[in-house]
Structure 1
Amino acid sequence: MEKWRAFRNSPRYEDAKGGVVKKGKNLLMTILQIILIVGISYVILSPVIGIVAQSFFSDADSANPMVYTIPIEGTLERYTTVITQMDYFRTLSNTLIYTVALTLIQVLICSMVGYGFARFDFPLKKLLFGCVVLMIVIPNHTIMLPQYMTFRSMGLMSEATPMYILTLFGTGLRAGLFIYIFNQFFRGLPKEIEEAAFVDGAGTWYTYFRIMLVNAMPAVITVTVFSLVWQYTDSFYSQLFRIPTDMLLAKRLSTLQNNISANLKIMNVRIQRLYVDAGVVLTILPLLILYLLLQRRFIEGVERSGIVG
């Protein structure tokens, strides 16, 4: 007993007590973090898992109230039918050509505009950059009518030409955000890089394409991934300009349920949804493959580009 009292009054007791309390706090924080991560992951992934699982449901599984996630009589019939109804492979190739072309143009134009704002002084620079910020915060719906009237008067509806024109002039889908990303990244690069290039006799264009754009690869990858995904899944401009259905997989998906009803004479809405789930999986599959291939570079690009929130 005397030894215990002596130990309690010694500095070692306070150190041991502090260590136990610290370990307890760390353990509690770890448990809370795990609970938070699991909860958020469930909220995000649960609908996706449900869609993927239900795309394999048979008619009997969909009518069985005991089947929730794992099908008892799984089938691939939904996928084979959807591939035919959506003309999947031809539409996918058209979609990839369309989205890749727009993405390459957008990366080039937005990087040039962002570089110009970051490195050059010119009249009304702050006002013009304010317009770029307005492009980010103003919803597309507020300017859809003048855009529609302009391109309709030019006879460019029912084709993809309006999207190429908007992208070439730096006003395409999410262009304001991409210009801002490049501007912030180029501002973070030291000016000594360009000064050294100019001393060696390099011109402005050579310095931009061979030096600055190469050093801005994290921002390029970030913008490329964002642009590909948003162009691929765009429904606003595709509906506004009436882009042909066979050019965009997302538009094919939006008409899939009606096609299933009209072509296959399936009137049961629950069964129709199973085909739509299979269409959703086939639509997001290319994006998932893209993310898996570029995951590491994309995360590094987001970190180095200064994108937060």
Structure 2
Amino acid sequence: MTIPAAGREKARAAPSFGPRPPRPRRVLLYAALVAGAVPTLLPFAWLVRSALMTDGQMFAAPPEWWPDPFEWGNFSGALTEQPFTRYFVNTLVIAVITVLGTVLTCAVAAFSFSRLRWRGRDVVFALLLSAVMLPYAVTIIPTFVMWQGLGALDTIIPLTVPAWFAGAAGGVFNVFLMRQFFLTIPFELDEAAYIDGASPWRVFWTIVMPLSKPAVVVVTIFTFVGTWNDFLGPLLYLSDQRDYTLSLGLASFQSMYITQWGYLMAASAAVIAPIIALFFFLQRYFIEGVTLTGIKN
């Protein structure tokens, strides 16, 4: 687009004052956000600081915040003293299978509760939500006895199969979250597809799921983080050290090298890194999914 000569003259004549100073309210808002973020980041900063220190520096009084010198050998020592590569692969396999099962089955259940009309739908959904009030500790023993009777102990079956049944293994919240997001999608899209001869399954895959990327990402993050950090499940069902997950590896590492705090801190920082990277790359969808969930029409 060509700017008229008069416009160019006016633009050149206009004085340039530089960027506007921030408003006082914006400054106060940023200050409050920074003040709230500092306590949240402090434990992670302490972890990284400890991972780069010797034991003497770590427990010095008063505390030292800056390693001098940097003890990079803690990372190499921690990753070689224990088979963390095998633990990482075991944890990743369990997490991927669990995420796939949770996202697929919870999405199907949420689609049925939100987009389909069938008798008793609201009653069944209310019964499903009532399972949230059941403490996890109450089901530990009967669940363990069930898997023991099925001969599934010391395998990843008890850690992955429940994820393929919506509502099991804490999936009730995921069903509720995805149902609330599906309700925000206009029903006119479904009706137009049904008029064209589409089946409910086709509507689910071609209309609802592509429009529900934020909700899918939120469920993915929640499930992945929960599986990655799970300690009680692997502790109950896994006894062979070759099948250990990262959480069990850290626990056994601490018991074997209780005085090597630098190794423990370095291994903990390495375990947390994939979760931070996952949230960093998916934070936009995560915030969008949490914000839009529950907003109808």
2:53 corresponds in structure 1 to 57
Indicate yes or no: 2:229 matched with 1:238: no
Q: Give the TM-score, by structure 2 length.
A: 0.84
Q: Note if contact 1:132-1:180 (Cα within 8 Å) is conserved in structure 2.
A: no
| Deviation sequence 1:158-195 (CA, Å, 0-9, x none) | 21112332112223432011000111111121111111
Shift of 1:305: 2.4
- CA separation of 1:106 and 1:248: change in aligned 2, threshold 3 A: same
1:18 corresponds in structure 2 to none
Q: Which moved more, 1:285-294 or 1:126-135?
A: 126-135
* AA in 1 matched with 2:77: T
1:223 corresponds in structure 2 to 219
| Deviation sequence 1:103-145 (CA, Å, 0-9, x none) | 0111000000011011223343233212321233332112112
Indicate yes or no: 2:191 matched with 1:208: no
Indicate yes or no: 2:286 matched with 1:301: no
- CA separation of 1:95 and 1:63: change in aligned 2, threshold 3 A: closer
2:4 corresponds in structure 1 to none
**Residue among 277, 287, 291 paired with 2:275:** 287
Q: Note if contact 2:213-2:285 (Cα within 8 Å) is conserved in structure 1.
A: no
Within 5 Å, which residues of 2 pair with 1:134-213?
A: 134-213=130-209
2:250 corresponds in structure 1 to 253
Q: Which runs of 4+ in 1 moved over 6 A?
A: none
Shift of 1:297: 2.1
- Alpha-carbon distance between aligned partners in 2 of 1:33 and 1:213, rounded to the nearest angstrom: 36
CA RMSD in angstroms comes to 2.2
Within 5 Å, which residues of 2 pair with 1:73-92?
A: 73-92=69-88
- Alpha-carbon distance between aligned partners in 1 of 2:208 and 2:103, rounded to the nearest angstrom: 14
Shift of 1:102: 1.0
Shift of 1:30: 5.3
**Residue among 271, 276, 286 paired with 2:264:** 276
**Residue among 20, 37, 48 paired with 1:41:** 37
- CA separation of 1:240 and 1:130: change in aligned 2, threshold 3 A: farther
Shift of 1:222: 1.0
Q: Count the aligned residue pairs.
A: 272
Query: SS of the residue aligned with 2:118?
Result: coil
* AA in 1 matched with 2:249: R
Q: Give the TM-score, by structure 1 length.
A: 0.81
Structure 2: 5+ residue runs without aligned partners? 1-22
1:17 corresponds in structure 2 to none
- CA separation of 1:116 and 1:83: change in aligned 2, threshold 3 A: same
- Alpha-carbon distance between aligned partners in 2 of 1:305 and 1:175, rounded to the nearest angstrom: 16
| Deviation sequence 1:58-108 (CA, Å, 0-9, x none) | 244235435521111211111111101231223212211210111011100
| Deviation sequence 1:212-250 (CA, Å, 0-9, x none) | 111111111111111111111112322233375534111
Q: Note if contact 2:105-2:164 (Cα within 8 Å) is conserved in structure 1.
A: yes
1:15 corresponds in structure 2 to none
